[in-house]
Chain A
Amino acid sequence: MIGSFRAAVVTFPGSNCDRDMAVALEAVSGTPPLRVWHGDVELPERLDLIALPGGFSYGDYLRSGAMAARSPIMRAVVDAAARGVAVLGVCNGFQVLTEAGLLPGALMRNAGIRFVCRDVTLTVENTASRFTAGYCSGQRIAIPVAHHDGNYFADEATLDALDSEGRVAFRYAEPVNGSSRAIAGVLNAGGNVLGMMPHPERAIESAHGGSDGRALFESVIGGLVNA
């Protein structure tokens, strides 16, 4: 069952959490994900999940995620997202998703200027999505962050729409980076694309210091297998 789960992890020049993402996906699904390079023009067939990892793609040149969002593989990712394939972008992957127009808003320099690297507490806001179904509504979870540009910005109308449509997946339960309405993760209108600054793949077993990220992978993998 779970063995039929097919995921791909995209590596851009400067990605540095692609291996962590692959390890997490294999640990939870039992199947190692396929690996895709930024210069590829096609994704493997029959994918259930595409993961865009953290890191500093293209050295954060121009804007974080800007160059990666225009790389050849992203055209295929945009097409796959339109077909309903699940897409998870973590940290730099979230920045890439906003730059590619798959998610609204932008991620700006942290309000406190400094790089923030620590465990933070999140509140799970939406438990209806395929990424968050394994959590309880309002559940508080501890997930590490490690970013310089995690300050989520969108105009008021966009923020109101995200709130009213239940598209805020996670909020910070403490001050972290100055994000509008403390947003830590957002969903697209179809609910199949999630971008988040915190790193769930760094919290899947007790040796990591916590395993609160595991339910996210169990949700998306279990949901797809049962679909």
Chain B
Amino acid sequence: MKIRVAVSLKPGVLDPQGRAIQHSLEGLGFSGVRDVRAGRLIELDVADDTSDAALDEMCHKLLANLVIENYRIERVAA
């Protein structure tokens, strides 16, 4: 089973990388980009019987730092 974990900075946490990307987009002539937030996409291939609780635990223990980040788990249809 394929799982995608999207890790993103919490709202309100300054994202210097996102801001730099925004400035670069402006430099390329793209107008109207109000905000950019950069995150991380982690793809896992796990046993089919892996529970939601186990996936949550993976995020809490390693994949995300909950001091600054949120995560979203998505089960990808085969």
Interface residues, chain B, CB within 8 Å of chain A? 13-14, 16-17, 20, 61-63, 65, 67-68
Contact = CB atoms under 8 A, between A and B. Distances in A.
Contacts of A113: 16-17, 20
A153 B16 contact: no
Interface string A90-113: 000000001100001110111111
Nearest to B17: A109
Interface secondary structure of B, over-half rule: helix
Contacts of B68: 106, 108, 153
Interface residues of A, number: 20
- Dominant SS among interface residues on chain A: loop
A151 B15 CA distance: 11
A62 interface: yes
Given A62-B62, A66-B62, A70-B62, A111 B14 contact: yes
A63 interface: yes
Interface of A: 62-63, 66, 70, 98-99, 104-106, 108-113, 151, 153-155, 178
Contacts of A155: 67
